[in-house]
């Protein structure tokens, strides 16, 4: 296993649309292992492969709390089959936008189809934080970030802040 580097704003690779996985092979299994190590190390409750620079439709999650046993889940080629009219608001964060949190409203209940690590098709219904997390991760696969769901003013503020920080880092390196 190896930890991979998590891309952060304003890295343009976060805007790539990820490609479907044709076959769950050794390369995908290695990617998934590394994603878990990276996600647990961060720590985060979810991770999309594109966040470690691999634009493939692979997502890992673990929503277990600190005192609960681990609950690692893998979603390959996840598809949103249905989303409720009812919406729920959660304070979201993103490992690619460190230390920024904002409330986002999304459908409260969703149905998702995906392929598991054994290559079998699965369907789940989710609500609560899992519903939010799965939508957040599927967004990543489409090049969408949670800040795309907040007000224009808040979004431009956070983009500016990260652009400025990135600029400062390159200046320091020169």
- Catalytically annotated residues: 137
Task: List, in sequence order, the alpha helices (H) in the chain.
Answer: 26-41, 128-141, 152-173
Q: What is the closest distance, in whole angstroms, from the C-beta atom of residue 173 to ligand GNR in the complex?
A: 26
DSSP annotation of 40 reads H
| Chain center to CA of 4 | 14
- Does residue 94 belong to the site contacting ligand GNR (CB under 6 A)? yes
**What whole-number distance in Å separates Cα of residue 79 and Cα of residue 81?**
6
The pattern of x and - marking residues 80 through 119 that bind Ni ion according to CB under 5 A reads --------------x-------------------------
Query: Widest CA span of the chain, in angstroms?
Result: 51
- Does residue 131 belong to the site contacting Ni ion (CB under 5 A)? no
Block residue for tokens 């080629």: 77
Please say which residue, 45 or 150, places its beta carbon nearer to ligand GNR. Answer: 45
Please say which residue, 71 or 119, places its beta carbon nearer to ligand GNR. Answer: 71
- Token digits for 47? 């991770």
Interacting residues with ligand GNR between 20 and 79 (CB under 6 A)? 44-48, 51
Give strand pairing partners of 58: 76
Binding residue for ligand GNR, selected from 35, 130, 133, 150, defined by CB under 6 A = 133
- Does residue 18 belong to the site contacting ligand GNR (CB under 6 A)? no
- Does residue 145 belong to the site contacting ligand GNR (CB under 6 A)? no
Task: List the single partner that 132 binds among ligand GNR, Ni ion, none, CB under 5 to 8 Å by kind.
Answer: ligand GNR
**What whole-number distance in Å separates Cα of residue 108 and Cα of residue 41?**
28
- Token digits for 164? 């400025």
Which residues here bind Ni ion, judged by CB under 5 A?
94
């Amino acid at each position: 296993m190896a930890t991979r580097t998590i891309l952060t704003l304003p890295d343009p690779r976060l805007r790539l649309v990820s490609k479907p996985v044709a076959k769950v092979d050794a390369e995908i299994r290695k990617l998934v292992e590394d994603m878990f190590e990276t996600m647990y190390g961060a720590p985060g409750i979810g991770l999309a492969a594109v966040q470690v620079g691999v634009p493939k439709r692979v997502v890992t999650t673990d929503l277990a709390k600190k005192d609960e046993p681990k609950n690692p889940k893998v979603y390959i080629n996840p598809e949103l089959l249905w989303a409720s009219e009812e919406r729920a608001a959660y304070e979201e964060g993103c490992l690619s936008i460190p230390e920024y949190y904002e409330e986002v409203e999304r459908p409260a209940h969703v149905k998702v189809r995906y392929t598991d690590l054994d290559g079998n098709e699965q369907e789940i219904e989710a609500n609560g934080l899992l519903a939010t997390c799965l939508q957040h991760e599927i967004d990543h696969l489409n090049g969408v970030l949670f800040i795309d769901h907040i007000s224009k003013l808040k979004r431009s503020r956070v983009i500016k802040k990260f652009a400025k920080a990135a600029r400062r880092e390159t200046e320091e390196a020169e």
